[in-house]
């Protein structure tokens, strides 16, 4: 009886995994070509009130300044082009890969637990089978959370600095990259009030001199 119960439990969880993989697979195929105006994550963060969500100002990857892309990747996921979605090893000042954060912001609900990170990891590996690295990074730059209901670098530059991307100063770009560690609690203007974010800024400042 115990063996039968364990078998049923195994198939139950296997079924859940397959359903999740199907969900991520279909979602990934959709964003391979489409640029959605919202996501389940955005809706949950806005307490399911779509009127609170500001549509991200989509910026093609080629229109984003190179030094800004370098800064973001440098502190968010320096091994981005080497891994298959999950970090090769834990890096200082980094809590998830770019691919994992795309899965979170496009397909999952806000979370702060091991189950959520586990689902992110599965989704990130699967997503990398369907999308190229450039598209994944493009989605990251346009849909990652840069503040309370602020999504994407285009909206972040406009909200914090009233500027379009080409007109951002070097310091402004580094601050925007740095606050991604905790964008809800820390804004670019208060980056030096958080030890981790200040450390990210200093690392970028020295690396990109």
Four-point Cα dihedral 144, 94, 147, 62, nearest 10: -40
Question: pTM of this prediction?
Answer: 0.90
% pLDDT > 70, the chain: 95
Q: Which residues contact 88 (CB under 8 A, 6 or more apart)?
A: 79, 82
For 119-148, the pLDDT digits (tens) are 999 999 999 999 989 999 999 999 999 988
Average pLDDT for residues 49-58, to the nearest whole number?
A: 84
**Closest of 202, 168, 197, 171 to residue 184, by C-alpha:** 197
Per the prediction, the chain carries an average pLDDT of 88
- Whether the per-residue pLDDT at 205 is higher than 90: the answer is no
pLDDT for 192: 86
- Written as six digits, the tokens of 28 are 């990934």
Query: pLDDT at position 172, please?
Result: 95
What separation, in Å, do the N-terminal and C-terminal C-alpha atoms of the chain show?
67
- DSSP label at residue 106: H
Q: How many CA atoms lie within 13 A of 166 on its CB side?
A: 2
- pLDDT for the residue numbered 94: 61
Residue labelled with tokens 């391979």: 32
- The confidence score (pLDDT) of residue 1 equals 73
Q: What is the pLDDT of residues 143-192, one digit of tens each?
A: 999 988 889 999 999 999 999 999 999 999 999 999 998 888 889 988 88
Q: How far apart are CA 176 and CA 96, in angstroms?
A: 18
CB 24 within 8 A of CB 103: yes
Among the listed ranges 4-8, 64-68, 98-102, 154-158, which one has the minimum average pLDDT value?
4-8
Q: How confident is the model at residue 67 (pLDDT cuts 50, 70, 90)?
A: very high
Q: pLDDT digits over 83-100, tens only? A: 888 876 665 556 789 999
Half-sphere exposure of 5 (CA within 13 A, CB side): 2
| pLDDT recorded at residue 151 | 93
CA atoms within a 13 Å half-sphere pointing along the CA-CB vector of 197 = 21
Identify the structural domains of the chain with CATH numbers, from first to last. 20-207 (1.10.3810.10)
The two three-digit tokens of residue 167, written as one number: 């007109």
Closest CA to 43 of 109, 100, 101: 109
Q: Is the alpha carbon torsion for 40, 44, 46, 51 positive or negative?
A: positive
Structure tokens at 96: 């998830």
Residue with tokens 């030890």: 195
């Amino acid at each position: 009886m115990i063996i039968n119960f364990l078998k049923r439990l195994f198939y139950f969880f296997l079924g859940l995994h397959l359903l999740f993989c199907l969900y991520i697979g279909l979602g990934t195929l959709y964003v391979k070509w489409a640029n959605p105006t919202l996501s389940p994550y955005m809706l949950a963060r806005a307490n399911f009130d779509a009127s609170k969500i500001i549509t991200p100002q989509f910026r093609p990857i080629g229109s984003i300044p190179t030094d800004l892309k370098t800064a973001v990747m440098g502190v968010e996921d320096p091994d981005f082009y080497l891994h298959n979605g999950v970090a090769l090893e834990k890096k200082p000042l980094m809590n998830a890969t770019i691919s994992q954060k795309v899965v979170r912001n496009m397909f999952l609900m806000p979370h702060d637990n091991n189950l959520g990170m586990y689902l992110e990891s599965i989704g990130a590996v699967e997503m990398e089978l369907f999308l190229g690295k450039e598209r994944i990074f493009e989605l990251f730059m346009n849909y990652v959370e840069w503040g309370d209901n602020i999504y994407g670098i285009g909206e972040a530059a406009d909200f914090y600095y009233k500027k379009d991307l080409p007109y951002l100063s070097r310091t402004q770009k580094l601050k925007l990259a740095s606050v991604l560690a905790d964008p809800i609690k820390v804004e670019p203007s208060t980056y030096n009030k958080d030890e981790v974010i200040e450390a990210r800024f200093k690392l970028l400042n020295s690396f990109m001199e």
